[in-house]
Structure 1
Amino acid sequence: MKNLHRHHYHKIRSGSRLFLSARTNYSAASSKLVVGGKTYEDIPKVVYNIAPPMDHKKELYVEHNTRLPSILSALEKAKLTPEFRGSEIVQLNSSRKATLKDIQSVHYSNYLSILKKFVEDAKSGKPKPKSSDLTFAMQGFQYVTATSYEVSLAAAGSGLSLVDFAVAASKINENCPVGFALMPPPMHHVLRTESGGCCYFENAGIAARYAQRVHGLNRVLIIDFDVHYLSHTNDAFYDDPDIFVLSTHWDEGYHGKFDDTGSGRGEGATLNLPLPEGSGDIAMQSVFDEVIVPCAQKFKPDIIIVSAGYDGHVVDPTGSFQLTTGTYFTLASGIKQLAKDLCGGRCVFFLEGGESEGVVSFSVAESFRAFVGEQSMAPEFEKKYAFFLHDEPINKVKQAIQRTKHLHSI
């Protein structure tokens, strides 16, 4: 078995700044955290939010309504919920929805109109444009139901609540909790003008703009480790110098290329690192050490937002990597430390892809273990998958990393 959980990350000094929040009450005398009208006596290590599941029941459709319950079951089994951890792990009971202003910060109004129309058609029982119940009129063969729009607003809102919490906590204690938005559906492939790949709103991007607009966190680092290229995030911020988008993904050859580095004032603030098929734990560890850490250090973000996709796992049918849950543990540990060193601990993870429910569920649990500072349980879990692992294309990986470092002067 290969390098399942090497706990290696760089310590980075920071001159991070703190900002006032219109949504947060802070008393320096009491040092109590007050968010959304609720007082927290202790600063938790993890705070998470659960958005309502999509009403998607079609078999074999990637975003199925059993995905979130499977994750929650894994967290309970691992005793990584408030019931077992008290104030160490907090679940927000926020039913907040993103506003139209939040959504329009990254999506065009005509797209929202189209999405609403499909939802209204679903409510009224109008026939689909095609004979199946997959709607091809929206790119990426979207499955639209009567609740898709409202649930998507709630999913986006759950992430914004976590941004509020992270900002508030960082003003009181340097050990700011890591936020994790457990939400459907993923948001990886939606564009400003159209949906795609099971996605409706680009929640990570919406949170980035919200952090800037509401909390004054001007410099946002978005780290993506989903196996697929994050179409919308690159599209939305391609000319923005204050949002650094760093995506490592499978090299499919036709998008997310090395020289897609931004435009205009945003030149250099987009980093795409396509990796060869078969990349695994060694490749991702190298990417973290040689690319993610120095880029974060150079950019000096005010908050880190993570598009956390678990479809790079060796047994996931949608990707072509051979990562293990141990690497997801290591990534979570390293990114948490980066946030602590660079931006007062402000960091929010957003659940992305992963079709193998058992693997996604355990990998999310591993991320939680990393956040609370526990030992990884990945070696035990990975025993049954060891025979899937094979030699990584290390030379190709090194070439990809070197090309990226050259383009971005790392």
Structure 2
Amino acid sequence: MPLSHLMELQTFRPPSFAGTMMFLVRNQVPQWKNHCRFSVNTMLSGHSTEQNDTLPSIKQLSDARVIYAVAAALGHNKESHPESSARVPAIVKALEKMELTPKFRGSDILELQNFNLASVDDIASVHAKAYVSGLEKAMDQASEKGLILIEGSGPTYATSTTFHESLVAAGAGLALVDSVVAASKNQLDPPTAFALIRPPGHHAIPKGPMGFCVFGNVAIAARHAQRVHGLKRVFIIDFDVHHGNGTNDAFLDDPDIFFLSTHQDGSYPGTGKFDEIGIGAGEGATLNLPLPGGSGDTAMRTVFDEVIVPCAQRFKPDIILVSAGYDGHVLDPLASLQFTTGTYYMLASNIKQLAKDLCGGRCVFFLEGGYNLDSLSHSVADSFRAFLGEPSLAAEFDDPAILYEEPSTRVKQAIQRVKHIHSL
């Protein structure tokens, strides 16, 4: 079956990933495939527009300090591709090794194991229905060929399980939003949530897939928070090393969803310039801060204090959603920032506190990028420790000797420029 019905939706042609596909990933994940959390054959009911009826009990939600869901998409995999099926299992293994699972922490950490798939209507709140139906139909060809490319000449692929597993990933995010909202109605300090999911989502544009991403998980969750829970004002923080162009585009003219992206200047997909601030009624509700290559922990701490906090305070959100990409780590092969495990601990801790201060603690993280399995898994695990209010273990993983001097003058100039544009 030809993919013309799908490919014609690709009206946006991004720059190529020239030079970024050198990183080879050894996909040693067969041992996970029989685990219920990682099964490619998991069959779940469709998510409804009503509140999720598979939520944990109020007692479980009240006791939990962290809640997470796993959607590893083991069937969505391409040999030697950086966005591989090894990513989520590596995180889960690190959580278990660092004793950050319910087995070791009891009721403090809750894994949400039973949740609904996102429905087509959920996906269509952000994406064109023609794209959604076209991708579903393309699964027949993916089944015949084993793997197909769904982004023209771009790097996004699909296997026979991609459509289903993408619905699972989006559904995990919706269920976590439901859980956090339910908990916030019964306690002052609800658990912080983390969707350990793939395929990632922040590059997926309304009309199609892009940059490893299939459906816009964070964008879909934002619409869900508004439609189902009446949380009108949604604040999205995207600290992936690449600009979240898909999320950016989904809400360009929406004054009630604030999208804030920090990313490496000049990196894929070449969008996210300072002057991209939204359009029409949404003008001013998009903030893009491209940071120079080499920016690291000092830069991000300053960005948080001088840009993220005042933006959020002025916006007054009802919930905070986070596109948590860990590819800004100094060890990551696809970019050249100098974030460390400690940087991600700081971000997790500070965003959790920001949510507590501004929106009743309602906060959900969504996994985006991160392609060095060690730095990815350690950074996510340390983020869990931040959610628990426990000391960082970054000193065990970070090597200061590999860092070099940050471009402090250029960082300061970038921060001052964005503060001027947005009157911060």
Q: Same fold (TM over 0.5)?
A: yes
Query: 2:237·2:320 contact (CA, 8 Å) conserved in 1?
Result: yes
Note if 1:69 corresponds to 2:89: yes
| 1:369-394 Cα deviation digits (max 9, x unpaired) | 000010000012113xx232000000
**What is the RMSD of the two structures over their aligned residues, measured on CA atoms?**
1.7
**2:55 — aligned with what?**
36
**Cα offset, 1:135, TM superposition:** 1.4
Matched-pair contact (CA < 8 Å) for 1:52–1:154: no
Please point out which of 66, 70, 85 is paired with 1:46. 66
Which residue of structure 1 aligns with residue 237 of structure 2?
223
Whichever residue aligns with residue 319 of structure 1, its letter is A
* 1:246 and 2:274 are equivalent in the alignment: no
Asked whether the 8 Å contact 2:150–2:158 carries over to 1, the reply is: no
Q: Which residue of 2 aligns with 1:121?
A: 141
Q: Which residue of 1 aligns with 2:402?
A: 388
User: CA distance change for structure 1 residues 201 and 54 in 2, over 3 Å: closer, same or farther?
Assistant: farther
Supply the distance in 2 between the matched residues of 1:40 and 1:172 (Cα, whole angstroms). 10
Please give the secondary structure, in 2, of the residue aligned with 1:40.
helix
Is this contact kept in 1: 2:120–2:132, CA < 8 A?
A: no
Give the aligned residue type for 2:55.
G
Aligned pairs for 1:159-308 (under 5 A) are 159-252=173-266, 254-308=270-324
| 1:88 alignment partner, one of 103, 108, 116 | 108
Give, in whole Å, the separation in 2 of the partners of 1:37 and 1:348.
16
> In 1, distance between residues paired with 2:334 and 2:148?
19
**Partner Cα distance (1:313, 1:363) in 2:** 9
Deviations 1:298-346 (A, max 9, x none): 0000000000000000010111101100010000000000000000000
Deviation at 1:126, TM superposition (A): 4.7
CA shift at 1:221, angstroms? 0.2
Instruction: Give the letter aligned to residue 405 of structure 2.
Output: D
- The alpha-carbon distance between structure 1 residues 362 and 103, as it changes in their structure 2 partners (threshold 3 A), is same
AA in 2 matched with 1:266: G
Q: 1:335-346 maps to which residues of 2 (within 5 A)?
A: 335-346=351-362
Q: Using the TM superposition, give the Cα deviation of residue 196 of structure 1 relative to its aligned residue in structure 2, in angstroms.
A: 1.1
Cross-structure match for 2:14: none
Tell me if the contact between 2:295 and 2:411 (Cα under 8 Å) persists in the aligned partners: yes
Q: Which residue of 2 aligns with 1:152?
A: 166
Partners in 1 of 2:78 and 2:333 — Cα distance? 18
Structure 1 residue 136 displacement after superposition:
5.7
Which of 331, 337, 348 is residue 315 of structure 1 equivalent to?
331
> Kindly tell me: are residues 373 and 404 of structure 1, through their superposed partners in 2, closer, same or farther at Cα, counting changes over 3 Å?
same
Change (3 A) 1:126 1:75: closer
| Per-residue CA distance 1:350-387 (angstroms, 9 max, x = gap) | 0010110111000000000000010000012113xx23
CA contact (8 A) 1:302 1:343 kept: yes
C-alpha contact (below 8 Å) 1:23/1:35 kept by paired residues? no
Query: CA–CA distance in 1 between the matches of 2:197 and 2:390?
Result: 24
Q: Counterpart of 1:359? A: 375
Paired residue secondary structure (1:340): helix
Bigger relative contact order, structure 1 or 2 (CA pairs below 8 A, ≥6 apart): 1
Question: Structure 1: any 5+ residue segments left out of the alignment?
Answer: 1-20, 25-33, 128-132
Task: Single out whichever of 366-375 and 191-200 deviates more from structure 2.
Answer: 191-200
1:218-243: CA deviation from partner (whole Å, max 9, x where unpaired): 00000000000001001000000000
Q: 1:82 to 1:194 in 2, by over 3 A?
A: same
Kindly indicate whether the alpha-carbon contact (under 8 Å) linking 2:204 and 2:216 is maintained by their aligned counterparts in 1.
Answer: yes
* TM-score, normalising length: structure 2: 0.85
How many residue pairs end up in the alignment? 373
